[in-house]
Structure formats: C-alpha cells, structure tokens
Amino acid sequence: MQGRKRQYPENNEQSALVEWFYVQFPNELIIKITNEGIRTMPQKMRWLKQGGLPGAPDLFMPRANSKYYGLFIEMKPAKGGKAKENQKIIIERLNQAGFLAIICHGFDAAKIQIENYLRNKNV
C-alpha cells in the first residue's frame, strides 16, 4: 500500500493567482518558494543546507514600491487555514526588514493585495 499524498488546498488558488499575475503584469516577476513536500531525512538535510527555510512564504514578488523592498505572500485556503508559528515568526522578521509579508486567504485576497502593492496602497 502506497502512502497517501498530503493535500494542499491552496495549490489551485495559488496556480490561478500566478496565471492571473502574468496576464495582468507580464513585465513583473513572481517567484514560488518551494517549502512543501515530504522528504526523506537526507533530502531534508540537503534542502536545509541549501537554504530551505521551513515557514518561508509561498510567493515572492521582487519589486520595490515607494514603501517596501518587495512583497511576500503566504497563501492559505480561502476558507480556513491558519499560519503556523514558524510562518508568523518569518513574516514578522520580513516585515521588520522592510518587506511587505502577508498572509492571504485565497485567490481574491492575494489579487487585491498585489494590486494594492503595485499601486502603493498598502499600509
């Protein structure tokens, strides 16, 4: 019997967000930070040695606006989903470092935040 794969409900919304992003902003970049997945211990150790950071946000937009150096987005399902403690700590540290790091519940929330960020409307 094979092991069951872990489900990530926000994956479909994140995929839709990235697709929408490149249609709306073809000259911008958005980068996925790979954190999820089940790894063997050797794979996990290699991932950590190569800079893997448990709790890092899912997406990064490397574009400064008038207030921030760039935008990090941690995607959560539109309904439910809570940030883990390590995610909260990393988001706080990124915000202290001059980035805007946020948690978005679903496609619509992330879309609004990206549009606001690019229009310099984030508080």
Overall domain count for the chain: 1
User: Which element (helix H / strand E) includes 32?
Assistant: strand 31-32
Q: Does 2 reside within a domain?
A: no
Q: Does 114 reside within a domain?
A: yes
Q: Does 103 reside within a domain?
A: yes
Q: Does 106 reside within a domain?
A: yes
Give Cα separations from 13 to 4, 23, 118 (angstroms).
Answer: 22, 15, 20
Q: For the segment 6-43, what is each residue's pLDDT rounded down to a tens digit? A: 556 678 899 999 999 999 999 999 999 977 667 788 88
Q: Does 67 reside within a domain?
A: yes
Q: Does 15 reside within a domain?
A: yes
What tokens were used for 64?
């400064």
Q: Does 101 reside within a domain?
A: yes
Residue 94 is predicted with a pLDDT of: 97
Measured distance CA(98)–CA(42) in Å, rounded: 34
Q: Does 5 reside within a domain?
A: no
> Could you tell me the CATH number of the domain that includes residue 59?
3.40.1350.10
Domain of 52, in residue numbers: 11-118
Measured distance CA(110)–CA(76) in Å, rounded: 10
For 16-25, the CB contacts below 8 A with 24+ separation are 16/107, 17/59, 17/75, 17/107, 17/110, 17/111, 17/114, 18/59, 20/107, 20/111, 21/114, 25/114, 25/118
Q: For the segment 69-117, what is each residue's pLDDT rounded down to a tens digit? A: 999 999 999 888 888 899 999 999 999 999 999 999 999 999 999 999 9
Residue 11 is predicted with a pLDDT of: 83
